Chain A
């Protein structure tokens, strides 16, 4: 028996393969899970609001704040590529607001949210809205650690949004069909639009609203378990 264990090592100049099996998207999921635990620990309800540019995300959040500000201490993280236009609007509606500018990225990620969470006093709030960057593609792939995800679409986007972007509806718990007051002018059948959402994501709860007039906003709050 040899008294030393032989170790096989590659020589200099030799080719060497490393099997890594590492998921690059996993890092975000891990941080999202940490965010979730942190929010749960502080008993904060957190809602990720996703949707296209101009679908009505900011208006929905504004109206929800108006409805809920006496019941909850509310904070909003506004995600945008640049500018603070939305954050300014939301601040005026009476919530603590923090702007997250992604710079070049098309979505918020869990790490940016973790940074934002470290900038506010978590004992001071019990409801957090996170307005994602206006985009229907990337946010679906990057969970942030919220307990609920809402997607806002508007009839002005036409009738095909759910079929073209099924993933975001699959990731969402609630889908708001916004601007229903314009459906007729747009020639969009809201029943059909709802059926398309249900087709790609049968479990999602659909609420019809006109955030501008306020119609349906209370229903959104109820569905989210906030009223």
Chain B
């Protein structure tokens, strides 16, 4: 739901980087979006298209890699993917933040971020 503000931050940051390097244009921006973030790739692409117009990012490609959730159990040390609550009454299968082995709460190691990985520029 906050794709627009996150993408507008992204565009600002890439413009700054391109300017610093005196780039002619931006070819591609690669983003790692965590599965547990509330960012919808489809809406991010739309926001990117709108917000990059008239900037050095115009017509560049946005690549979004989805980063799978990775959790660790604080009690038994389980390290891996979380379990999902599969229930037909929900649109999405919600991740459970309980250890699939021992049922204790887990901490999230990966899958919450929205990281600018790489920017490809033409100089």
> A205: CB under 8 A from chain B?
no
| A79-131 interface (Cβ within 8 A of B) | 104-107
Are A200 and B114 interface neighbours, CB within 8 A?
no
Are A20 and B97 interface neighbours, CB within 8 A?
no
Contacts of B115 in A (CB 8 A): 21-24
Are A106 and B94 interface neighbours, CB within 8 A?
no
Give the shortest distance, in Å, between A31 (CB) and chain B (any CB): 13
Q: Chain A interface: which of B20-28, B47-55, B56-64?
A: B20-28
Q: A27-B9, A167-B36 are in contact. Are A10 and B98 (CB under 8 A)?
A: no
**Residue-by-residue, is B110-123 near A (CB-CB < 8 Å gives 1, otherwise 0)?**
00111111111111
| B99-118 interface (Cβ within 8 A of A) | 104-105, 112-118
The prevalent SS among residues of A at the interface is mixed
> A5: CB under 8 A from chain B?
no
Complex Cα spacing A166 to B85, Å: 11
> A225: CB under 8 A from chain B?
no
> A66: CB under 8 A from chain B?
no
Q: A163-B85, A163-B90 are in contact. Are A13 and B123 (CB under 8 A)?
A: yes
Are A25 and B113 interface neighbours, CB within 8 A?
yes
Contacts of B24 in A (CB 8 A): 13
Interface size grouping (class) on chain A: 35 or more
Give the shortest distance, in Å, between A210 (CB) and chain B (any CB): 27
Complex Cα spacing A106 to B1, Å: 7
Contacts of B85 in A (CB 8 A): 163
Which of B2, B10, B89, B116 is within 8 Å of A141, CB to CB? B2
Which chain A residue lies CB-closest to B104?
A202
**Residue-by-residue, is A11-28 near B (CB-CB < 8 Å gives 1, otherwise 0)?**
111111111111111110
Are A16 and B1 interface neighbours, CB within 8 A?
no
**Pairs A-B, 5 closest by C-beta atoms:** A20-B116, A24-B114, A106-B1, A23-B113, A18-B119
Q: List 17 A-B contacts (CB under 8 A).
A: A11-B123, A16-B120, A18-B17, A20-B13, A20-B119, A24-B6, A24-B10, A24-B115, A24-B116, A104-B4, A105-B2, A137-B1, A138-B1, A138-B38, A141-B37, A170-B97, A201-B97
- B residues near A, CB below 8 A? 1-2, 4-6, 9-10, 13, 17, 21, 23-24, 27, 36-38, 85, 87, 89-90, 94-98, 104-105, 112-123
- A residues near B, CB below 8 A? 10-27, 104-107, 135, 137-138, 140-142, 160, 163-164, 166-167, 170, 199-203
